[in-house]
Amino acid sequence: MNERATPQDFRTLTDIREESEDVGRNASANPTMGDIINRRYSRRGFMAGSLGVTAIAATVSPLALLAAGEARAMTTSAFSFDEVEAGVDEMHHVAAGYDADILLRWGDKVFADSPDFDPMNQTAAAQARQFGYNNDYIGFIPLDGSSERGLLVVNHEYTNAELMFPNWATVVTEVQEKDGVKKDVQKVKMGEYTPELIGIEMMAHGGTVIEISRTDGKWAPVLDSAYNRRITVETPMTLSGPVAGSDRVKTKADPTGTQVFGTLNNCAGGVTPWGTYLMAEENFHGYFTGDVAENDPQAAAYKRYGVPGGWYNWGQFHDRFDVTKEPNEPNRFGWVVEVDPFDANSTPRKRTALGRTKHEGAESIVNKDGRVVFYCGDDERFDYVYKFVTAGAYNAADRAANMDLLDQGTLHVARFDADGTVQWLPLVHGEGPLTAENGFKDQADVLIEARRAGDVLGATKMDRPEDVQPNPKTGKVYVMLTNNTRRKDDQVDAANPRANNAFGHIIEITETDGDFASTTSTWDVLLKCGDPSVAEVGATFSPATTANGWFGMPDNCAIDADGRLWVSTDGNSQKATGRTDGLWAVDTDGDARGTSKLFFRVPVGAEMCGPLFTPNDETLFLAVQHPGDEGLATFEAPATRWPDFQDGMPTRPSVVVVTKQGGGRIA
């Protein structure tokens, strides 16, 4: 994670991300659980459509499938749709009886006067007026309470240059030597960067606010809406809360430590009860380059966050991304950004009271006492789960009164104890070990180094916490733990019970007496993920789960208006699990608890993000991120040309909108 990466080497961003985020790579010689699964699926090679499904079904004994069918008939699932067959091909697939339409693609117009998408001649100026790349979080903010007209807010997490730029990346052969044996390995070699290409990358990051409406059953963007907005790496923002003005966030461009340009790596996020849009800054370290001396006063703090990660070489043309030239700039990223989508000219605020981590998302709930509770995962192996409780109460009658609620409150980090309790430990300067003697001279230090604060408080090291989602219907909170193949046998604990956890798990927290602000909760494991028919995996899907219904690597999730759980995944593939990523419906209650069903699956190479339902549960928005990004994928040769399937048109990350044919709830 902390080793220096050279931007223009032979690795694509996917390679770097996989190494960094541990999507099933392990340098040890021991066969991993992933290897065991891989052996099952790699025999079949790449299969399309129903042929692939048949082959997958054949790996599970007919007896097991029969048992699943019988078990399903005997249980009471909250879901009635007909399950999609798992597999891998170039298309997306949704359950029968539902439409899955493309709503917005990378390069689509966000404004009536945006230039048409011209991938062969893309410019930074055009990209700044068009829908960005790699859509991740999706929020829907109803206009006048409607489920058919509202503001769609979408994060654009990162860019894949090799898939975006024509005549740029090439497939080359590299000689690799391992154990004295040389072999030819084919790799994607990135091209040369120019200021214009980096400008396109920067404008393709950030977020989009766009009005959408449903007419005659079909959703479409409203391009002349005054709400429409692009947020990018250059959008001026304010640092607010306890870190504002700290010496550690002052730079040459901002000697006050209060004004930041832009946001990046916005993964998941949230919509607050008062209708603002939260963009979580995740892998910010990857955008910094430069050299850090061992005696640099920030060396240890950088290292805890993997700065400089060197995934992008923006620092080549923009000094602020070179830590040698601007050592405090990394402290200005890793926050939760709040955007008022009802004012396209408003200045987004980085809410430092929520701490600086690799924030996956920031989902919230109004507590019974009116305070608002935000749940955040810090997505890295062995990092922590947090919750922030506002000091003030939410005022449903006065939106303006809520607009600075996120500046005051208490951030807590979770310690999952073996007795089934969670202790939420406050990150408050002066309390416990968070003192000057331990290098925290004030609350700004505690928040800038939230990870180290969690370390000294004794928080539980988790298997990569992603979305953390409260369920207002049941008082439960779901924690997606995507995977961690670096956990060793002697590092297993009650809440992270599998060594070499290739497929992740889901924890269910119960807040005491429905009090989401409680500092003591209880917890249970809802699911250990992976193929339940492979005993070594130790997956715990219910017996009613079919061969299509199980999944690995939970990432984002949604709770629908009925309180039902839907889980999207990141990291399933032909090689890893014999299936693409997708959206699975998971029963949490009654005799069907732990039963999972596949509702939607993405095209090859893509990841499934952003599941989000309208308040009436009749529309589901889904984000298909990095389609075609598998194997030796380039602009010229992606693994799929989804969604346009036109020669010369690249593969395009897109928002998909799912509705029931003939109308009605998604059930």
Q: Judged by CB, which is closer to ligand FEO: 445, or 555?
A: 555
Question: Which runs of consecutive H residues, i.e. helices, occur in 191-240?
Answer: 195-204
Q: Residue 570, interface with Ca ion (CB under 5 A)?
A: yes
Q: Which two tokens stand for residue 616?
A: 């009436």
Q: Which two tokens stand for residue 588?
A: 């949490």
Size of the site for Ca ion (CB under 5 A): 5
Q: Which two tokens stand for residue 474?
A: 């049941």
CB of 379 to ligand FEO, least distance (A): 3
**Whether the Cβ atoms of residue 82 and residue 96 lie closer than 8 Å to each other:** yes
Of these partners, Ca ion, ligand FEO, none, which one is at the site of residue 565 (CB under 5 to 8 Å by kind)? none
Tell me 239's DSSP state.
E
Of these partners, ligand FEO, Ca ion, none, which one is at the site of residue 162 (CB under 5 to 8 Å by kind)? none
CB of 506 to Ca ion, least distance (A): 13
Q: Which residues of 387-409 are buried (b: 16+ CB within 10 A; e: fewer)?
A: bbbbebebeeeeeeebbebbbeb
Q: Judged by CB, which is closer to ligand FEO: 487, or 597?
A: 487
Q: Which two tokens stand for residue 317?
A: 């043309």
Tell me 109's DSSP state.
B
Cross-strand bridge partners of residue 477: 470, 509
Question: Which runs of consecutive H residues, i.e. helices, occur in 324-462?
Answer: 443-448, 450-457
Residue 36 CA to residue 559 CA, distance in Å, equals 33
Of these partners, Ca ion, ligand FEO, none, which one is at the site of residue 629 (CB under 5 to 8 Å by kind)? none
Q: Which two tokens stand for residue 526?
A: 């809802």
Q: Letter for the amino acid at 257?
A: G
Residue 637 CA to residue 648 CA, distance in Å, equals 10
Q: Judged by CB, which is closer to ligand FEO: 466, or 508?
A: 466
CB of 540 to ligand FEO, least distance (A): 23
* All residues at 6 or more sequence positions from 336 whose CB lies less than 8 Å from its CB, including other chains: 269, 278, 279, 280, 281, 350, 351, 354, 359, 362, 374, 376, 406
Q: Judged by CB, which is closer to ligand FEO: 12, or 328?
A: 12
Q: Judged by CB, which is closer to Ca ion: 191, or 615?
A: 615
CB of 222 to ligand FEO, least distance (A): 29
Q: Residue 463, interface with Ca ion (CB under 5 A)?
A: no
Of these partners, Ca ion, ligand FEO, none, which one is at the site of residue 449 (CB under 5 to 8 Å by kind)? none
Cross-strand bridge partners of residue 156: 135, 206
Which of these segments, 56-64, 195-203, 210-218, 565-573, binds Ca ion (CB under 5 A)? 565-573
Of these partners, Ca ion, ligand FEO, none, which one is at the site of residue 157 (CB under 5 to 8 Å by kind)? ligand FEO
Q: Judged by CB, which is closer to Ca ion: 261, or 551?
A: 551
* All residues at 6 or more sequence positions from 3 whose CB lies less than 8 Å from its CB, including other chains: none
Q: Which two tokens stand for residue 504?
A: 């992740």
Residue 314 CA to residue 325 CA, distance in Å, equals 13
Which parts of 23-82 interact with Ca ion (CB under 5 A)? Answer: none
Q: Residue 281, interface with Ca ion (CB under 5 A)?
A: no
CB of 487 to Ca ion, least distance (A): 17
Backbone angles phi and psi of 355, in degrees to 5: 85, 160
Which of these segments, 7-15, 264-272, 431-439, 528-536, binds Ca ion (CB under 5 A)? 264-272
Residue nearest to Ca ion (CB): 570
In 497-553, the DSSP E strands lie at 505-511, 520-528
Which of these segments, 263-271, 365-373, 433-441, 510-518, binds Ca ion (CB under 5 A)? 263-271
CB of 211 to Ca ion, least distance (A): 22
CB of 216 to ligand FEO, least distance (A): 35
Residue 553 CA to residue 569 CA, distance in Å, equals 5
Question: Which runs of consecutive H residues, i.e. helices, occur in 10-160?
Answer: 13-21, 33-42, 49-58, 62-74, 124-127
Q: Judged by CB, which is closer to ligand FEO: 2, or 59?
A: 2
CB of 50 to ligand FEO, least distance (A): 31
Closest CA to 338 of 403, 412, 389: 403
Of these partners, Ca ion, ligand FEO, none, which one is at the site of residue 587 (CB under 5 to 8 Å by kind)? none
Q: Judged by CB, which is closer to Ca ion: 158, or 635?
A: 158
Residue 575 CA to residue 34 CA, distance in Å, equals 9
CB of 467 to ligand FEO, least distance (A): 8
**Residue 65 CA to its chain's centroid (Å):** 32
CB of 570 to ligand FEO, least distance (A): 6
Q: Judged by CB, which is closer to ligand FEO: 340, or 555?
A: 555
Q: Judged by CB, which is closer to ligand FEO: 379, or 407?
A: 379
Residues that bind ligand FEO (CB under 6 A): 157, 267, 282, 360, 379, 466, 555
CB of 609 to Ca ion, least distance (A): 6
CB of 97 to ligand FEO, least distance (A): 31
* All residues at 6 or more sequence positions from 457 whose CB lies less than 8 Å from its CB, including other chains: 413, 415, 425, 427, 432, 433, 434
Of these partners, ligand FEO, Ca ion, none, which one is at the site of residue 322 (CB under 5 to 8 Å by kind)? none
CB of 523 to ligand FEO, least distance (A): 21
CB of 390 to ligand FEO, least distance (A): 24
Closest CA to 660 of 70, 15, 100: 100
Q: Judged by CB, which is closer to ligand FEO: 68, or 271?
A: 271
Q: Judged by CB, which is closer to ligand FEO: 47, or 468?
A: 468
Q: Judged by CB, which is closer to Ca ion: 267, or 353?
A: 267
Q: Judged by CB, which is closer to ligand FEO: 267, or 477?
A: 267
CB of 227 to ligand FEO, least distance (A): 26
Tell me 142's DSSP state.
E
According to DSSP, the β-strands at 349-351 and 236-240 are parallel
Q: Letter for the amino acid at 308?
A: P
Q: Which two tokens stand for residue 130?
A: 């068009």
Of these partners, Ca ion, ligand FEO, none, which one is at the site of residue 282 (CB under 5 to 8 Å by kind)? ligand FEO
Q: Residue 555, interface with Ca ion (CB under 5 A)?
A: yes
Torsional sign, CA 104, 106, 110, 112? negative
Closest CA to 587 of 525, 545, 532, 531: 545
Closest CA to 528 of 492, 564, 582, 561: 492
Q: Residue 467, interface with Ca ion (CB under 5 A)?
A: yes
Residue 620 CA to residue 131 CA, distance in Å, equals 19
Q: Judged by CB, which is closer to ligand FEO: 282, or 322?
A: 282
Q: Judged by CB, which is closer to ligand FEO: 320, or 359?
A: 359
Of these partners, Ca ion, ligand FEO, none, which one is at the site of residue 467 (CB under 5 to 8 Å by kind)? Ca ion
Of these partners, ligand FEO, Ca ion, none, which one is at the site of residue 22 (CB under 5 to 8 Å by kind)? none
CB of 360 to ligand FEO, least distance (A): 5
- Furthest-apart CA pair in the chain: how many Å? 72
Q: Which residues bind Ca ion (CB under 5 A)?
A: 267, 467, 469, 555, 570
